[in-house]
């Protein structure tokens, strides 16, 4: 309990969305409010050479998309905020799923023009699995989009969550005049291409006052009065416990690119968002107030600085105090390790820290000791659960184009797949390397990074597989027979676990019914036996 003050100061969350909904722009606006950056970057503008602060890989800067989760810490109103910006692109969904295991709450960005999109649904399903508290930011209100009531209905229906509007828009597109804050009872006026200031805020405790007509016109004032009365009757005050249990999502409207409506959300976020929460382990739930340190690795990033060939493992602190140069127990390797230069991040900028507390994300320089899901403790043997590796959907064989660079290729494949962007399988009894990914874009990223960072040139040949299943059996002989008979479809993953590569759903179902003694698993979670 001695770190209570530190725990209550911290909020750790991720921003999630469909690509192009404005997530990276929103991230930058948060950093501006926190004083962490002075000017916003431009992700896709060719005229401006500054890029989004959070997109730190070369390929991201070239293509204007986020393909790796980046971590940023900043202070706002005496609250230390750890913000994880996630890839929006569906091909990198697995990285985002794992990131969601390291946060306590989520801000979901929805594009008011396109509404709920496919990736939004998938991300929300992961939040539902964990009852993660969600705040919704409906972005791009300055563009012609869907009707605000229709949008709320669509989000509730598609994402299976109850919404609670906290601000309410006055028109949209070219007629967008601003938002009314239903909680603070004030009006925030919008002027295109200008940043919102305190002068744009008008306190209106009673909407019947004539000042409303003066500010937004009689017609819009009448509509706002009607809407506000309806919303007040339906929703009332926000039930904060329902938000914390993931049942209700507060909703804010705005325009991230114009920095409009963002501050209202950030102020509400630090007021209601959860402090670091307990985490499930193989032994018990570990509360953040536990005196002894514990944490887990949820992401690994190789070559953050191409000049130094560094690997950084991202650690989420779950309990106790992390200290620089102190020995901690690496549970999987059963050895003690210490870190002389642990970092906190401001996108690509790193600062060495002396200590960190529950909720913090620390970057650890890694020489190859870590895998995703690894647990560090102050001596106790347990591991944090619920950090999955999913079955890939696309499989390609790696063809080495330069035999002189075989070592570099193998090293690159191992390091890049350690990051979790893809999975590496070796054909049983052979040497054929097969990469499994969720989407095609990952193969592009791997090919690009192998060449740029390791000098290894390769191409990929499509393999006719439908799914990878980890296989186990209580009867070692049955497992041995199965792998021998099906050797063309058997591979091992990086940890040496057996994997069955099924050509189709029919083949998979046939093998499952013909081999009742063998269990087929769709994630690798099952291999974490109690230590």
**What are 100-155's pLDDT values in tens digits?**
888 999 999 999 988 888 778 878 877 887 889 999 999 999 898 888 899 999 99
Q: How confident is the model at residue 56 (pLDDT cuts 50, 70, 90)?
A: very low
Q: Is 476 helix (H, G, I), strand (E, B) or coil?
A: helix
Q: Which of 164-173, 220-229, 422-431, 499-508 has the lowest mean pLDDT?
A: 422-431
Binding residues for GTP: 17-24, 85-89, 139-142
Give me the residue spans of the domains in the chain: 4-184+236-272, 279-377, 394-527
Structure confidence at residue 43 (pLDDT):
34
- Average the pLDDT over each of 346-360, 494-508, 510-524 and give the range with the smallest value: 346-360
Is residue 437 exposed (0-12), middle (13-18) or buried (19+ Cβ within 10 Å)? buried
Q: Which residue positions form the known binding site?
A: 17-24, 85-89, 139-142
What is the tens place of the pLDDT at every residue in 377-386? 998 899 888 7
What's the fold here for domain 279-377?
Answer: Rossmann fold (3.40.50)
Decide if 279-377 and 394-527 have a common fold.
no
Q: What is the pLDDT of residue 347?
A: 46
End-to-end CA distance of the chain: 27
Distance (Å, whole) CA 182 – CA 168: 7
Tens digits of residue pLDDT in 276-286? 999 999 899 99
Look up tokens 């404005």; give the residue: 22
Q: Is the pLDDT of residue 482 over 80?
A: yes
Tokens of 283: 């032994």
Provide DSSP, 129-175: HHT--EEEEEE-TTS----HHHHHHHHHHHHT-EEEESEEEE--GGG
Class of residue 226 by CB neighbours under 10 A (exposed 0-12, middle 13-18, buried 19+): exposed
**Burial code of 337-365, b = ≥16 C-beta within 10 A, e = fewer?**
eebeebbbbbbeebeebeebbbbbbbbbb
More confident residue, 408 or 299: 408
- Architecture per CATH, domain 4-184+236-272, reads as 3-Layer(aba) Sandwich (3.40)
Q: How far is CA 517 from CA 360, 467, 479, in A?
A: 44, 20, 8
Per the confidence metrics, is the pTM higher than 0.85?
A: no
Q: If one looks up domain 394-527 in CATH, what number appears?
A: 3.30.70.3280
């Amino acid at each position: 309990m001695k770190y209570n003050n530190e725990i209550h100061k911290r909020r750790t969350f991720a921003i999630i969305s469909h690509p192009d909904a404005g997530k990276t722009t929103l991230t930058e606006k948060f950093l501006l409010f926190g004083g962490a950056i002075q000017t916003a970057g431009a992700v896709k503008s060719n005229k401006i050479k500054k890029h989004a602060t959070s997109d730190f890989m070369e390929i991201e800067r070239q293509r204007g998309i986020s393909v790796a989760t980046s971590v940023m810490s900043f202070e706002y109103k005496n609250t230390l905020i750890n913000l994880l910006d996630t890839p929006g692109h569906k091909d990198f969904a697995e990285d985002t799923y794992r990131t969601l295991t390291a946060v306590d709450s989520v801000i979901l960005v929805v594009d008011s023009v396109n509404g709920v999109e496919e990736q939004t649904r998938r991300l929300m399903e992961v939040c539902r699995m964990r009852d993660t508290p969600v705040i919704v930011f409906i972005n791009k209100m300055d563009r012609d989009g869907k009707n605000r009531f229709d949008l709320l209905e669509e989000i509730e229906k598609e994402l299976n969550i109850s919404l609670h509007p906290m601000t309410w828009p006055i028109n949209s597109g070219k007629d967008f005049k601003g938002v009314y804050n239903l909680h603070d009872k004030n009006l925030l006026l919008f002027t295109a291409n200008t940043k919102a200031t305190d002068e744009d805020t008008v306190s209106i405790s009673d909407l019947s006052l004539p000042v409303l007509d003066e500010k937004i016109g009689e017609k819009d004032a009448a509509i706002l009065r009607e809407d506000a009365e309806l919303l007040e009757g339906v929703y009332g005050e926000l039930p904060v416990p329902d938000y914390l249990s993931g049942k209700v999502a507060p909703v804010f409207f705005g325009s991230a690119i114009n920095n409009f409506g963002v501050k209202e959300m950030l102020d509400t976020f630090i007021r209601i968002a959860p402090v670091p929460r307990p985490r499930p382990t193989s032994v018990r739930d570990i509360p953040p107030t536990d005196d002894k340190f514990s944490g887990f690795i949820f992401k690994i990033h190789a070559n953050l600085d191409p000049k130094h060939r560094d690997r950084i493992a991202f650690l989420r602190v779950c309990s106790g105090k992390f200290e620089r140069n102190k020995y901690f127990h690496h549970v999987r390797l059963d050895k003690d390790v210490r870190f002389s230069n642990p970092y906190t991040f401001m996108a690509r900028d790193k600062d060495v820290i002396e200590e960190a507390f529950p909720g913090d994300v620390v970057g650890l320089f890694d020489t190859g000791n870590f895998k995703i899901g690894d647990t560090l403790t102050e001596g106790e043997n347990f591991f944090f659960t619920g950090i999955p590796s999913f079955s890939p959907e696309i499989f390609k064989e790696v063809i080495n184009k330069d035999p002189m660079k075989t070592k570099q290729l193998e090293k690159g494949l191992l390091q890049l797949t350690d990051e979790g962007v893809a999975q590496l399988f070796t054909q049983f009894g052979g040497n054929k390397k097969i990469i499994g990914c969720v989407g095609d874009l990952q193969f592009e990223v791997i090919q690009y990074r192998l060449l740029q960072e390791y000098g290894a040139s390769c191409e990929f040949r499509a393999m006719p597989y439908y799914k990878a299943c980890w296989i186990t059996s209580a009867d070692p002989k049955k497992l041995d027979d199965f792998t021998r008979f099906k050797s063309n479809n058997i591979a091992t993953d990086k940890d040496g676990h057996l994997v069955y590569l099924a050509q189709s759903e029919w083949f998979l179902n046939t093998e499952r019914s013909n081999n009742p003694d063998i269990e087929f698993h769709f994630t690798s979670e099952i291999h974490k036996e109690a230590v």
